[in-house]
Homo-oligomer: A and B are copies of this chain.
Amino acid sequence: MNERAAGAEWIDAGLRALREDGLEAVRVERLAKALGKTKGSFYWHFADRPALLTALAEAWRARATGAVIDEVEAGGGDAADKLRRLFAITLAADGRLERAMRDWAARDAGVAAIVAAVDARRHGYVADRLVEAGVAPATAQWRSRFLYLAIIGRFAAAPAPMSAEEARAMIAAIAPLLGGER
C-alpha cells in the first residue's frame, strides 16, 4: 500500500466530519463507523486523535492554499476581471470547511498559524491584483484586507452559498472598489 496514502481515507473522513459537523464531530469511533472499520484500524494508522487532527490541518493547508487562485488565474483577463472572478467563485462556494477551520484556529495556536499563512497568501493575491488595477499600494493594502474579510464573512455566515446571479449583483454593487472601469 502506498505509504503516502496510508491514512488517506481517515483524513478524508475526518475532513468530511469537520466540514459537516465541526471539530467536535471528528471522533475516532465515528469515523471508523463511517468507514466500516473499527478503532483498531485507526490506531494502526495514527498514534492518537491529535495526530489525526494535525494531519487534517495539514491536508486543509495543502488544498486550500492555491486552489481558488489557480482557478482564477486560469481564466485570464486583466486584474479587475480576475478580482470579479475571484468573488464570483468564493461568494458561491461552500464555506463550511473554512468556517470550521477558523473556529478551530481560535482555540489552537498551531491551527491558527496555518490559517494565518493561508490568509496571508490569499490576501496578498488580492492586494497584488488591486495594485495591478491601478490602486495606490497603501490603499490597496487595506482595501484588499477588507475585501478578503468579506470573503471570510461569506464563509462564516450560516446561510447557504449565493447563486451565480446573486454573486454578480453583489460584485456590481462593489465595483468602485475593484478598479477596472471607473
Residues of A within 8 A of B (CB): 21-24, 96, 99-100, 102-103, 105-107, 112, 115-116, 119, 139-143, 145-159, 169-170, 172-174, 176-177
Say yes or no: B143 contacts A174, CB within 8 Å. Answer: yes
Picked from B116, B140, B153, B169, the residue with its CB within 8 Å of the CB of A153 is: B153
Contact A157 B150, CB 8 Å, known A107-B21, A107-B22:
no
A22-B156 in contact (CB<8A): no
Q: How far is the CA of A163 from the CA of B148 in the complex (A)?
A: 18
Q: How far is the CA of A174 from the CA of B149 in the complex (A)?
A: 12
Most buried by B among A100, A157, A158, A159: A158
Inter-chain CA distance A143–B172, complex, in Å, is 9
Q: Of the candidates B153, B158, B173, B177, which one forms a contact with A174 in the assembled complex, judged by CB atoms under 8 Å apart?
A: B177
CA distance A173 to B178 in the complex (A): 12
Copies in the complex: 2
Alpha-carbon distance A21/B159, docked complex (angstroms): 24
Taking a contact as CB atoms closer than 8 A, the residue among B22, B142, B150, B151 that contacts A169 in the complex is B142
Known: A142-B170, A177-B176. A158 touches B102 (CB 8 A): yes
Query: What's the Cα separation between A151 and B115 when bound, in Å?
Result: 19
Residues of B within 8 A of A21 (CB): 107
A151: B residues at CB distance < 8 A: 149, 153
| Complex contacts, A147 vs chain B, CB 8 Å | 150
Q: Flag if A154 contacts B149 (CB, 8 Å).
A: yes
B159 touches A145 (CB 8 A): no
Least Cβ distance of A88 to chain B in Å? 13
Contact B158 A105 (CB under 8 A): yes
Known: A142-B169, A151-B153. 8 other contacts (CB 8 A): A23-B24, A102-B158, A112-B158, A139-B173, A146-B150, A146-B173, A152-B156, A156-B156
